[in-house]
């Protein structure tokens, strides 16, 4: 993506001006790796409400406050199974087609951030669950399946 811009300043501003500012995330920080590359799978720091706005963008098929932010059909593409992943991964999201979170419907998709941060998106329920818990060790991992089950029961 970086090569599509005339210079690094344009590249670094793109996510802020074309995404974060438009969906109400003006304070989100998108850091770069050692080579100066923005890594969308990590290095984005934002509040719970900011991440909820991101989920809302996907729940609304790429629209936010009546404005199309994401290209048409992008949301469907992003949750389409990537070949050779056995249904575990889409184009940018982890999927639940393998039913690795049995309490969640297979239509749920998610972002899996560093040390237990998660954004769970439930299109059929018009629901998102944002978790910013810090679980750096496997033994301290949150029971996400139980959390999902409890939330889904609470909103039935």
Is 8 a domain residue? no
Q: Is the pLDDT of residue 5 over 90?
A: yes
**123-132, long-range: CB < 8 A, 24+ apart:** 123/58, 123/59, 125/152, 125/155, 126/59, 127/59, 127/151, 127/152, 127/155, 128/52, 128/55, 128/56, 128/59, 130/48, 130/51, 130/52, 130/55, 132/48, 132/51
Question: What CA–CA distance (Å, rounded) separates 43 from 99?
Answer: 28
> Using one digit for the tens of pLDDT, what is the confidence trace for 92-138?
899 998 889 999 999 999 998 877 889 999 999 999 999 987 766 66
Averaged pLDDT for residues 59-87: 94
Is 34 a domain residue? no
Question: What CA–CA distance (Å, rounded) separates 79 from 96?
Answer: 10
Is 139 a domain residue? yes
Is this model's pTM higher than 0.85 or not? yes
Is 13 a domain residue? no
User: Which ranges of 21-63 does DSSP label H, i.e. alpha helix?
Assistant: 48-59
Cα distances (angstroms) measured from residue 30 to each of 34, 36, 139: 13, 11, 29
Average pLDDT value over all residues in the chain? 91
Q: Which domain holds residue 141?
A: 72-156
Question: What CA–CA distance (Å, rounded) separates 16 from 36?
Answer: 16
Cβ partners under 8 Å of residue 37, min gap 6: 2
Is 62 a domain residue? no
Q: Is the pLDDT of residue 35 over 90?
A: yes
Closest to 99 (Cα-Cα) out of 107, 126, 61 = 107
Is 15 a domain residue? no
Is 42 a domain residue? no
User: How many structural domains does the chain have?
Assistant: 1
Residue 156 has a pLDDT of: 87
pLDDT over 90 for what percent of the chain? 71
pLDDT over 70 for what percent of the chain? 96
Is 78 a domain residue? yes
């Amino acid at each position: 993506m970086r090569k599509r811009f005339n210079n690094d300043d344009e590249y670094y501003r793109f996510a802020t001006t074309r995404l974060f500012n438009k969906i109400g995330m003006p304070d989100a920080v998108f850091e770069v790796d050692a080579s100066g590359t923005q890594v969308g799978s990590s290095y984005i720091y934002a509040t719970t409400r900011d991440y909820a706005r991101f989920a809302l963008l996907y729940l609304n098929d790429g629209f936010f406050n009546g404005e199309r932010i994401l290209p048409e059909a992008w949301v469907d593409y992003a949750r389409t199974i990537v070949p050779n992943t056995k249904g575990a991964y889409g184009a940018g999201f982890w999927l639940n087609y393998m039913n690795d979170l049995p309490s969640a419907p297979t239509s749920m998709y998610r972002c899996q951030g560093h040390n237990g941060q998660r954004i769970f998106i439930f299109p059929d329920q018009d629901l998102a669950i944002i978790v910013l818990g810090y679980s750096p060790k496997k033994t301290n991992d949150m029971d996400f399946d139980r959390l999902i089950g409890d939330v889904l029961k609470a909103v039935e």
